[in-house]
Amino acid sequence: MAVGKVSRRSIKILLSLCMTVLAAWSQSQRPANGIQVLVDSDNRKVDVLVDGQPFTSYIYPTTLKKPVLFPLRTAEGELVTRSFPPGPGERTDHPHHVGLWFNYGNVSGIDFWNNSDAIKPQDQGKMGTIVHRDVIAARSGSQKGELEVEDDWLGPDQKPMLREHTVYVFRGSAGVRSVDRITTLTALDRKVTFTDDKEGVLGLRVTRALELPSEKPETFTDASGRVTQVSATDGAAVTGDYLTSEGKQGAGVWGTRGRWCSLSGRIGRQPVTITILDHPKNPGFPTYWHARGYGLFAANPLGMKALSGGTDALNFALDPRSSVTFRHRILILSEPASAERAEKRYQEFVAEYK
């Protein structure tokens, strides 16, 4: 009789344990709700998930000369950034164009924009590197996730010129993904100049489908005379088009100013629009657009003289221990371009960061 009671009790305990394990397993199979920001120091990255699905990662591998967000995806999971390294059928030009980044081509004479593992030895003495320093905070949440990091801008002598403090804010909803990049640069023990240069500041290299169609190859030369050849596109697979707040379109966007700019097209059958929003508190507002048809989409508020043909000039500078903050929002929308919707979202962005 005692043995029977113990057996029944053991069965109940075993059943209860099984139910607990089953419930835990079931919960683990459900996609997490909200925005998850997951630090993976061993692999030198921070992953960002929206409702359990990958959105982007903050990565800082030793093979890159600056931290970047890579890759970036739509709400449906389509990649909007060129592969790193470029994959089959993708362009291999401009090896320094990876994901979404922030740097500049002339910082006290040092080029942070063009640096990559492809730089020739004779040019390395002119190049700067942005090195990840620390993850200050990683916050997940139901409505947004935040990542706070610090980086150092190092000259060729490996001495820091600038300290960077950046807060990324990630959001996601049906048909929408967004990144706010709030970056503060602080000069250290010496004055730092940002001589007007076309190579800057917030850059994004997009997938081939979002390039602008072109019928002829083009040649691009950077401020140091390095030449990059870019081939013509195959029109059937290339669908991109630019539109700014000032009504500029297509290739005519390059070297013009605007408070926002959209790049729209199709990836497969899915309409996609990427919009970069400038902010009135940013230096050089409204920004110039360094927006090329071959897939470079960049906002450059510091390159006035280079991008205006000499009619404007800024030559921004920071005195020792002084700071400047740049505020941008990048929207990835699963919809065609709309000037009205872009303006509405721009006003929302401005209101949030008054």
Q: pLDDT (tens digit, 9 = 90+) per residue, 23-35? A: 444 334 344 799 9
Q: pLDDT (tens digit, 9 = 90+) per residue, 185-228? A: 999 999 999 999 999 999 999 999 999 997 667 665 554 555 56
Same domain, 145 and 21: no
Lowest mean pLDDT of 24-33, 44-53, 218-227, 309-318, name the range. 24-33
User: CA-to-CA distance for 15 and 44, rounded, in angstroms?
Assistant: 43
Residue type, 253: V
Same domain, 134 and 74: yes
Same domain, 1 and 80: no
Same domain, 128 and 237: yes
**What is the rounded average pLDDT of the residues 38-42?**
98
pTM: 0.87
> Has residue 307 got a pLDDT over 50?
yes
Same domain, 13 and 39: no
Q: pLDDT (tens digit, 9 = 90+) per residue, 147-159? A: 999 999 999 999 9
Say if residues 99 and 70 touch (Cβ distance below 8 Å): yes
Residue type, 245: S
User: CA-to-CA distance for 261 and 111, rounded, in angstroms?
Assistant: 26
Say if residues 74 and 176 touch (Cβ distance below 8 Å): no
- Collapsing DSSP to helix, strand or coil, 175 comes out as coil
Lowest mean pLDDT of 29-33, 68-72, 87-91, name the range. 29-33
- CA dihedral sign of residues 112, 118, 123, 129: positive
> Has residue 61 got a pLDDT over 80?
yes
Within 10 angstroms of residue 37's Cβ, the number of other Cβ atoms is 22
% the chain with pLDDT above 70: 85
Say if residues 206 and 219 touch (Cβ distance below 8 Å): no
Domains identified in the chain, total number: 2
**What is the rounded average pLDDT of the residues 173-185?**
98
Same domain, 8 and 42: no
Same domain, 18 and 160: no
User: CA-to-CA distance for 186 and 188, rounded, in angstroms?
Assistant: 6
Same domain, 12 and 51: no
pLDDT at 217: 72
pLDDT at 32: 72
Same domain, 305 and 329: yes
Same domain, 7 and 141: no
Same domain, 104 and 201: yes
% the chain with pLDDT above 90: 82
Same domain, 5 and 113: no
User: CA-to-CA distance for 175 and 177, rounded, in angstroms?
Assistant: 7
- Residue 101, judged by CB atoms within 10 A of its CB (0-12, 13-18, 19+), counts as buried
Q: Per-residue confidence at 3, pLDDT binned at 50, 70, 90? A: very low
pLDDT at 88: 87
Mean pLDDT of the chain: 91
Lowest mean pLDDT of 64-73, 94-103, 123-132, 207-216, name the range. 207-216
**Which structural domain range is residue 2 located in?**
1-30
User: CA-to-CA distance for 161 and 153, rounded, in angstroms?
Assistant: 6
Pairing mode, strands 192-194 and 176-187? unpaired
> Has residue 20 got a pLDDT over 90?
no
Q: Computed over its alpha carbons, how large is the radius of gyration of the chain?
A: 23
Q: Per-residue confidence at 11, pLDDT binned at 50, 70, 90? A: low
pLDDT at 237: 86
Say which CATH number the domain at 118 has: 2.70.98
